[in-house]
Amino acid sequence: MDPRPPSLKLLLLIGGLLAAVILPSGAAEKDLDTELRLTVMVGDTETAARLLDQGAHVDAPNPFGKTALMFAVEGGDLATVSLLLSRGADVNARTVAGCTPLTFAAEAGHMGISALLLERGAHLHDRTRAGWDALMIAARNGYPEIVEQLLFKGADPKAADRDGRTALMQAAAKGQIAVLPLLVKGGAELEARDKQGATAFLIAADQGQVDAISTLTELGARLDAQDGMGSTALHLAIGHSHAAAVERLLALGADPNQADQEGVTPLMEAVAAGHLEMIDWLLAAGARVDLKDKAGRTAADIAAHMGKTQVLERLAFPPANPL
């Protein structure tokens, strides 16, 4: 005997088949719909066709609004997707969370299936409950071929989600560098702002996405961009302890003396966090120790107030050539 336990999908299918035997006749139609979804989940196109012939409703959803077509798309089952579409499946059906077959294809990276869905009339601009369209989803998951496909079909690279974030920002946050040039070439705005005033470049720094920082810089992103609080990429990277991002930003020429709305400089940020290595890098890059914030404090004043003796020593006697 095979000692391996049956898969969850197989158990679900067996359960669906048993239910078909024991349920009363009044529930038979509903059970066929359930069985269809379970059959699609295990990739059995032949049985799915038989169930449709027996009266299963092609668009019958589960309690979350997910249809057989969505399960087939998610599983990358092109044959079953083709079958369901040929039987009249709604290419623009939506789950309770607003997901569509196309957004499932974009999330899973199934280019052939997304092409078929688009050919059958899938809506490019439909959004999930979070405000994400297929382009944003493909961008954040790093599928350049699908990003190109969607842009070619007319997807809007300037569209933003509920937080004001575009596909470019989504890709920057996840470090998906392969799609960044495609989005910019397709019309994405490098300096577009989300609801916090952050650009894609600032978001990349905030998330410590070093390669995205470099790629966006090469594409023309502004090194001196500031968010709604006046924070620069250096402030954000230091605040989240992204040492590699700080090092990269300084190498690219980020200004170590650019202050936020409260007059706080990157050096002051590093001092408050006690990041000795970053303090060394900032000093080597020309950070000034005499600058004051709006409360009249220098970096040394902040260190003294917080009792950071090592930091005070670093500010007074920085090591030579730390970079």
The number of distinct structural domains making up the chain is: 1
Q: Does residue 134 form part of some domain?
A: no
In a domain? residue 206: no
Q: Tell me whether residue 39 is in a domain.
A: yes
Q: What is the pLDDT of residues 220-266, one digit of tens each?
A: 999 999 999 999 999 999 999 999 999 999 999 999 999 999 999 99
Structural domain of 40: 1-59+66-88
Cα 8 to Cα 219: distance, rounded to the nearest angstrom: 46
DSSP 35-60: HHHHHHHTT-HHHHHHHHHTT--TT-
Q: Where are the beta strands (DSSP E) in the chain?
A: none
- Integer Cα distance of 166 and 160 in angstroms: 4
43 within a domain of the structure (yes/no) = yes
Q: Tell me, what's the pLDDT at 20?
A: 45
Rounded to two decimals, the pTM is 0.88
Instruction: Judge whether 5 lies within some domain.
Output: yes
Predicted pLDDT at 318: 77
- Any domain includes 222: no
Residue 10 lies in a domain: yes
Which neighbouring-strand residues pair with 166?
Answer: 160
Identify the segments of the chain with pLDDT beneath 50.
Answer: 1-6, 8-9, 11-14, 16-26
Is 9 part of a structural domain of the chain? yes
Q: CB under 8 Å to 214, separation ≥6 — which residues?
A: 248, 252
166 SS3 class:
strand
Residues in CB range of 303: below 8 A, 6 or more apart: 271, 311, 312, 315
